[in-house]
Structure 1
Amino acid sequence: MAKIEPKIFDELKIALSSFGGKYFVGEELNRSKLTDDLRNYDEALLSKLFEVEFIKQHFIKEFAGNKLFQIDQLEEAVLYNDYWDTSFTKYENRVGLASKGKFLEDSQDVVLDFPFKDGVLTASMTKEDNEDRYDDAFLNETIEKDEIDRLFDKKILSNVKRFNNEEHTDTKLISFNMEQDNLIIKGNNLLALHTLKDKYVGQIKMIYIDVPYFFKKKIAEDSFKYNSNFRMSTWLTFLKNRLEIAKQMLADKGSVWINISEDGMHYLKLLSDSIFGSDKFVGTIPRKTRNGKSDVPFNLSQDFDWLLVYTNGFEGDEIVGRKVERKYLTTPDFPNRPWRKADMTSQRTIYERPNSNFTMVNPKTGKEYPVNPKRSWAVTKDTFQEWYENGSIGFPDDYEFMSGDKPFRRVFKDEDDAKEKASAVYSDFLLKLYDGATVNKLGNDQIDLLFGRNAFDYAKPEELLYEIIKITTKENDIVMDFFMGSATTPAVAMKMNRRFIGIEQMDYINTVSVPRLQKVIEGEQGGISKDVDWQGGGSFVYAELFPKNMGYLQDVIHSKTIDELKSVYERMLLGTDTEEPADISFRADLSKIDWTEGFDNNKRLLVKLLDKNGLYFNYSEIDDKNVRDLISDEDYAFNKAFYEGGE
């Protein structure tokens, strides 16, 4: 049935034809180009649209003698080609997650961060302190597209050092080898991903992320050191921003594993389908998190969370697979070719395969082996001799050590090696491990052994990452975790001789994550170390996104009194010997600072004043004198080498 387009499409095609092919792909509107220019207030485009009577009637309103162009509504009508102004459903034949009347799939908003992940929530409050319902939503801004300009530029890397072992930490590092070096970055993970994107596009074989879980209500199992109670649309936008970049970094046949709880899983599944494509969904993997609990909602103990797995490969690819461990025989008749036994029969009957209905005779001994009528031979009578001469058929009476009463197919090890086909992985593979191998308590115990009690809550156990890395990667592949936490993923990757990238924003990166990796280099014997015979070794490069407004933002959040806020505000305006003045939002009216409004209101205002485009220094600024003076010669040289191959 022919598609009937809304009248606006006809009107737009007529009006935009004056631009030649700029807004067309063949005879169809290039809706992406059109909506981009609408958002950017393209003067020539808007001038032309003001001339269209249909546009004037439906999208231009007049107030007090002034004309207001409702660009958002026009963009919506253009973007959704199934839009019908008079329809009860508004959209035809489309299902998806929506916020503010638009599909999240089409949203270009950015959620830069959650309530701040630095061990505290707002000011000095812990999670327990937050029970008084203090409003910390202001730390969880959604940044609209037209406010984003320099936000996603590559950032300057500072405080760079290489960790080899406890005695040798190289702080004068100026080189980086992409083929060998591991990388740990401290900073906002969205901006760090954009910083690394160009360098690592198509390079990451496996991404594991233990994302901030969405909880319907506050629960003890909230493993993140900040409040996970926030609006679903904000949570989904936050993850969308990061998954879109992660997708670009996946290698050929790479996969991303997203650890998520029951509350948010189904929403995240829909979002991930829209990002990776529903045809790229590999499966849902259950993980046991605990061994039962009483006093639970509906009297049902939910003892699992889930891993959503996506790929950039295709259905016929081996995205996961196990290496088959086989035992081979070495015999005098084939001294240089180890071999194994395999079944010589077919699942088809002799009636289905009449050419395989024959009695097989051992040429050496003359012993006869009649065919089983229900399972014909896998070889035909005509091809038997060829198979036998190639060594592909053996008989039990050829060897004194061998038992059995049927001929067998002989498969040589070099034949197995040439096929390189991995065996299938079952979706319950994590549940088949020995009891308790993936529960949260085991991860906590592993951290406790390294650092003592309460160093980090709800760390994932090394066994979990070991199983995932084992079936998705081979040695020297790159594994990435941009919600790194206690560094379980890099620790396991190092022990399994995989390269890794880890990204974490919270300060415990320097009290838990990095020290843990140093212990791995030294040869610590916790987690999977004994299973893989880990003896220590390895190295990694550590770097921080060079903070600008981020430092001021942290100082605002940590402030406890109005006087501390005033001190931060003065530094924001004037800077110091070691800090540039803050970048203030173009919307800010500094005259609105009224200290009589109190501590909470002014804390909110100072956060709003800071331009989120300037949380960190961009690499494009590195040669500006005021910036160059702030970074060491070693960090300057490293940045040049990292981004440009040296200078």
Structure 2
Amino acid sequence: MSDNSLKKGRYTTYSNKIGLFATGERTGFLTYNDDVVLNFPFKDTVLEAGMNKEDTGREERFLHLEMDGRDIDTLFEPKVLTNFAYHAHNGDNQPTNQPTNQPTNQPTNQPTNQPTNQPLSPNLLNSQVKFFDDNGNLAQNLLIKGNNLLALHSLKSRLSGKIKLIYIDPPYYFKEAKPQDSFRYNSNFKFSSWLIFMKNRLEIAKELLTDDGVIFVHTNEDGNAYLKVLMDELFLRENFVTCLPRVTKKGGKSTDVFADNHDYVLVYSKINKKTGFYPMLHNDKGFKNQDEFFETRGFYKLNQTLDYDSLQYSSSLDYPIKINGEVFYAGGNKERYIERKNGNHLRADWAWRWSKDLFEFGLNNGFIEIKRTKNGARIYTKTYQNVKIENINGDYQIVEKERTRATSTLEFSESLYSNDNATKHMNDLFPKGTFEYTKPESLIHQIIALTTNPNDIVLDYHLGSGTTCAVAHKMGRRWIGIEQMDYIDDITKTRLLKVLQGEQGGISKAVDWNGGGSFCYFELKKYNQYFIDKILVANTMGELDTVYNEMAKNAFFKFWFDKEKFQKAYKKDKDDNQISLDDRKQILISVLDENQLYLNYADMGDSRYQVRDDEKALSDAFYGE
């Protein structure tokens, strides 16, 4: 093992080599054994990734799951909740009993069976917040600020096995460090750190999914192959559904040999890759004609003549048709019709596609159209968007028909799903350049339509600018969004408030969105994270000393922390040289117990933590105490 894997808090039982590792009868790397897992440094550790400023990064600390198991149990305990706010479309933020996502002008073709909001107390005192109905179903949309790993574990007790769809666009792994912080995250992870970061969150995410739940994970070229192997291990290879390439841009200059114009979306099901998906609507551009039945049948297209010469010949399908005194023969030739009826026909020869009874029904009900050209007249059949003819117990009837199609693996190769569309929408919502690399609403719309029904729960724990929750809200789904970055206040929440008020960008016009609904906002209550935030923004030694003095009174230190020794070594190194501001920040962070970044719900009653009454009411209401 390399030296850095033996530092305090970094011991791991796994090999310090990155690669494929078999655990079957022939243990070792690069075998052909089917029992393959991804082995990488610190695979058995937990990466918290506690960034909360887009321009601030820090070396991530690792906790060993086996050796420090008793300590790490507290890391995943539910956290105290704070800073509750209720937001509704009417703007007064007063709790109502309106359905969660009920728009103010719901179109008749949109589902309306949304969960009902329970009465809320604005200050959470003297009244119980109803986050869940009597059957334990989520009754509120949730926007949560805090470390997403810990937030996911906090959701576990109430929402395990209840999330239908998870979509995430996490920080990407890049082979080469980027000069700027991509996706407003610190994406310049070391490879092993990135794999751990993904693994920890995917493990708990899987527990939250319903049995027919699915997860879509956005990734890039550099990380895609390794992430797929990791997810094969976590979700099982047989539950891999597909990898969807997505066009990010159609053109653009590049100094490389190849221009990067696409990324990927990995798709996995929890249990069975054949369940959890719904056929996509078949929006064929050929449906463009209207007739007197448009209101009930929709558009129609003329894609086939009634006669055909490549069908196996059947005498019962070869008959004269009379329409308004005009007689038609299959193939347009009376003499050939007579020859066929006398037995002079080929194995495949001219005939009608419809029986005589079906034709008469179609003619009487508007499914027949005659087109005339210089070469003569031919009979066409109409194919409508919303109806078709069916034979039910020997009786022809017009029945409703939802035309669907299989989803192509090249579904997202159209420019409709590119970043350019997302940028245009974001520039309409916020000043130009406010948030880069956001995904378009059209992309999330297709994913949600493919995997969910109204009332299903959609989760995004790398919420970013809020696209996933914005689209889920417009589509009448319940949603949970988690974001730990500070821009959640100015960008994410603001965008979702615009959705409540009926903003008309993205998919709004396509789904006839006019506003409505509500959501609840709250945060995980910080403990040691509070001190880390103050350490990171300190600009002088004096400010850092002030933070340390506060830490000495209130912080939760690691078990090996020795205050007297620390104070001697805090400002100067072993050679008595002054320690830099950045190094001193790292030293201060290193003595804080990562298990206590946020206050545990189990410790809420301890007077030392000074938990407010409204925080207690909020936490009890959510966890069901």
- 1:554-573 equivalences under 5 Å are 554-573=533-552
Q: 1:590 matched to which residue of 2?
A: 563
Q: 2:140 matched to which residue of 1?
A: 181
Compute the displacement of 1:93 (Å).
Answer: 5.8
Q: 2:107 matched to which residue of 1?
A: none
Compute the displacement of 1:330 (Å).
Answer: 11
Q: 2:100 matched to which residue of 1?
A: none
Q: Which of 144, 153, 156 is 2:77 aligned to?
A: 153
Decide whether the 8 Å contact of 1:110 with 1:241 is kept in 2.
yes
2:572 is equivalent to residue 631 of structure 1: no
Decide whether the 8 Å contact of 1:207 with 1:480 is kept in 2.
yes
- Cα pair distance change 1:417/1:514, threshold 3 Å: farther
Deviation string 1:330-381 (CA, Å, 9 cap, x unpaired) is 999xxx9999999899999649xxxx6644669999998789944899999x
2:442 is equivalent to residue 463 of structure 1: yes
Compute the displacement of 1:470 (Å).
Answer: 2.5
- 1:205-284 equivalences under 5 Å are 205-219=164-178, 223-284=182-243
Decide whether the 8 Å contact of 2:89 with 2:518 is kept in 1.
yes
2:123 is equivalent to residue 172 of structure 1: yes
Deviation string 1:44-65 (CA, Å, 9 cap, x unpaired) is xxxxxxxxxxxxxxxxxxxxxx
| Partner Cα distance (2:404, 2:322) in 1 | 36
| Partner Cα distance (1:431, 1:583) in 2 | 50
- 1:4-153 equivalences under 5 Å are 80=23, 82=25, 94-100=35-41, 107-113=43-49, 116-122=51-57, 136-137=58-59, 139-147=60-68, 148-153=72-77
Decide whether the 8 Å contact of 2:604 with 2:611 is kept in 1.
no
Decide whether the 8 Å contact of 1:117 with 1:225 is kept in 2.
no
- Cα pair distance change 1:431/1:168, threshold 3 Å: same
Compute the displacement of 1:466 (Å).
Answer: 2.1
| Partner Cα distance (2:398, 2:602) in 1 | 52
- Cα pair distance change 1:317/1:167, threshold 3 Å: closer
2:86 is equivalent to residue 162 of structure 1: yes
- Cα pair distance change 1:530/1:567, threshold 3 Å: same
Amino acid at match of 1:555: K
| Partner Cα distance (1:349, 1:539) in 2 | 58
2:264 is equivalent to residue 306 of structure 1: yes
Q: Secondary structure in 1 aligned to 2:67?
A: helix
Q: Secondary structure in 2 aligned to 1:623?
A: coil
Decide whether the 8 Å contact of 2:389 with 2:398 is kept in 1.
yes
- Cα pair distance change 1:379/1:552, threshold 3 Å: same
Deviation string 1:109-153 (CA, Å, 9 cap, x unpaired) is 111116x2412225xxxxxxxxxxxxx43x354554433120111
Q: 1:125 matched to which residue of 2?
A: none
2:362 is equivalent to residue 411 of structure 1: no
Q: 1:616 matched to which residue of 2?
A: 598
| Partner Cα distance (2:470, 2:382) in 1 | 45
Q: Secondary structure in 2 aligned to 1:206?
A: strand
| Partner Cα distance (1:378, 1:145) in 2 | 73
Q: Secondary structure in 2 aligned to 1:215?
A: coil
Q: 2:369 matched to which residue of 1?
A: 402
| Partner Cα distance (1:219, 1:375) in 2 | 66
Compute the displacement of 1:543 (Å).
Answer: 0.9
Deviation string 1:446-492 (CA, Å, 9 cap, x unpaired) is 22322213322222222222222222222222211100011111111
- Cα pair distance change 1:583/1:301, threshold 3 Å: same
- 1:353-368 equivalences under 5 Å are 358-359=316-317
Amino acid at match of 1:556: I
Decide whether the 8 Å contact of 1:261 with 1:306 is kept in 2.
yes
Q: 1:41 matched to which residue of 2?
A: none
Decide whether the 8 Å contact of 1:211 with 1:260 is kept in 2.
yes
Q: Secondary structure in 1 aligned to 2:123?
A: coil
Decide whether the 8 Å contact of 2:368 with 2:379 is kept in 1.
no
Amino acid at match of 1:97: L
Q: Secondary structure in 2 aligned to 1:484?
A: coil
Amino acid at match of 2:612: I
| Partner Cα distance (1:393, 1:502) in 2 | 56
Q: 2:280 matched to which residue of 1?
A: 322
Q: 1:53 matched to which residue of 2?
A: none
Compute the displacement of 1:89 (Å).
Answer: 7.8
Amino acid at match of 1:572: M
Q: 1:539 matched to which residue of 2?
A: 518
Q: Secondary structure in 1 aligned to 2:54?
A: coil
| Partner Cα distance (1:507, 1:181) in 2 | 23
TM-score, normalising length from structure 2? 0.73
- Cα pair distance change 1:347/1:246, threshold 3 Å: farther
| Partner Cα distance (2:91, 2:367) in 1 | 59
Q: 2:110 matched to which residue of 1?
A: none
- Cα pair distance change 1:555/1:324, threshold 3 Å: same
Compute the displacement of 1:406 (Å).
Answer: 7.8
Query: Unaligned regions of 5+ residues in structure 2, if any?
Result: 1-10, 16-21, 95-121, 331-336, 341-345, 371-377, 574-578
How many residues align structurally? 525
Amino acid at match of 2:130: S
| Partner Cα distance (2:91, 2:29) in 1 | 70
- Cα pair distance change 1:151/1:145, threshold 3 Å: farther
Compute the displacement of 1:239 (Å).
Answer: 0.3
Decide whether the 8 Å contact of 2:80 with 2:524 is kept in 1.
yes
TM-score, normalising length from structure 1? 0.71
| Partner Cα distance (1:416, 1:500) in 2 | 38
- 1:386-401 equivalences under 5 Å are 394=361, 396=363
Q: Secondary structure in 1 aligned to 2:164?
A: strand
Compute the displacement of 1:420 (Å).
Answer: 7.0
Decide whether the 8 Å contact of 1:394 with 1:407 is kept in 2.
no
Compute the displacement of 1:568 (Å).
Answer: 1.5
Identity of aligned residues (%): 34
| Partner Cα distance (2:139, 2:352) in 1 | 47
Amino acid at match of 1:438: Y
Decide whether the 8 Å contact of 1:396 with 1:407 is kept in 2.
no
Return the structure number with greater helix share: 1
Amino acid at match of 2:507: I
Q: Which of 275, 287, 292 is 2:246 aligned to?
A: 287
Deviation string 1:568-590 (CA, Å, 9 cap, x unpaired) is 1221121xxxxxx2211113233
Amino acid at match of 2:556: D
| Partner Cα distance (2:363, 2:88) in 1 | 56
Q: Secondary structure in 2 aligned to 1:305?
A: strand
Q: 1:26 matched to which residue of 2?
A: none
2:472 is equivalent to residue 551 of structure 1: no
Compute the displacement of 1:254 (Å).
Answer: 2.4
Q: C-alpha root-mean-square deviation of aligned residues, in Å? A: 4.1
